[in-house]
Amino acid sequence: MKIFRAFAILAAGAIVGVLAMSASGGEQDDIARILKEFPELNADAIGPSPMEGIYEITLGSRLAYVSADANYLIQGDLYDVKTEENLTENRRMVSRLRSLDKVSESSMIIFEPEETLHTITVFTDIDCGYCRKLHREIDGYNEQGIKVRYLFFPRSGPQTASWFKAEEVWCADDRNTALTTAKAGGMIESPDCGVTPVAEHYQLGRTFGIQGTPAIVADTGELIPGYVSADELVKYLAD
């Protein structure tokens, strides 16, 4: 199952979304069989799917499906034909929120309105043009009642200029001001403050499958790729 091995490797280090389930005897036998075939999995990462005889595998926000006999693996989105609802994406949304709930706001850079109507979590790269465009309008987001929680996602990866800039921002005395300065092209020079949350944020973004920035996670768990203006976003979130 080379495809599954790749799936597991991509999700390595992910926070497993625990499925609330009470397995029957038959389900326990099926799960034991799947675990024997795929020892990389944790039992909590396996649960029933809407399809009879098919089980859902959850690794971070990545999902796949496996047959009860562990002979077949399905990677792709599962839809309800009658409602046209994307059932896989619904599960991803739940997994994203669970993962984000485990990230302390003390490790984020937050721009908060006087009255919060919606909260978005934005994976950002200091050197990304559209991330800078979004940040130039940060007051507009706050005026619309949108709380913006930033997580670092330097697209170039570890030990690169964008990564080091993120760490410099985190180590600044005033992180909000430092982020604004850095996104405007200014230089930030901060003393070494030890371990920063940049690696944690970056790894979480990878488990979400993020490739481009900004990547916005709505308070519903929906992943919205790219820049969206404050006016457009508040209308979208209100729907």
**Tens of pLDDT, residues 137-192:** 999 999 999 999 999 999 999 999 999 999 999 999 999 999 999 999 999 999 99
Q: Residues 96, 131, 132, 206: which is the catalytic one?
A: 131
pTM, entire model: 0.81
Q: Which residues lie below 8 Å from residue 225, measured CB to CB, with a gap of 6+?
A: 212, 215, 216
Per-residue confidence (pLDDT) for residue 197, from 0 to 100: 98
pLDDT digits (tens, 9 = 90+) for 27-82: 888 988 888 888 878 787 888 898 889 999 887 668 899 999 988 888 889 999 99
Answer yes or no: 131 catalytic. Answer: yes
Domains and CATH numbers, the chain: 2-100 (3.10.450.70), 105-238 (3.40.30.10)
Give burial (CB, 10 Å; 0-12/13-18/19+) of 167: buried
Q: Residues 92, 96, 132, 155: which is the catalytic one?
A: 155
Q: For residue 51, give the DSSP letter.
A: S
Q: Residues 96, 125, 132, 149: which is the catalytic one?
A: 125
Answer yes or no: 128 catalytic. Answer: yes
Torsion of CA 63, 105, 150, 109, to 10 degrees: -160
**Nearest of 66, 96, 84 to residue 76 by alpha carbon:** 66
Per-residue confidence (pLDDT) for residue 193, from 0 to 100: 95
**Residue 17 structure tokens:** 């979304």
Answer yes or no: 30 catalytic. Answer: no
- Mean pLDDT value of segment 12-36: 61
Q: Is the pLDDT of residue 22 over 60?
A: no
Q: What is the 3-state secondary structure (H, E, C) of 159-185?
A: CCHHHHHHHHHHCCCCHHHHHHHHHCC
What is the distance between the alpha carbons of residues 80 and 180, in angstroms, rounded to a whole number? 44
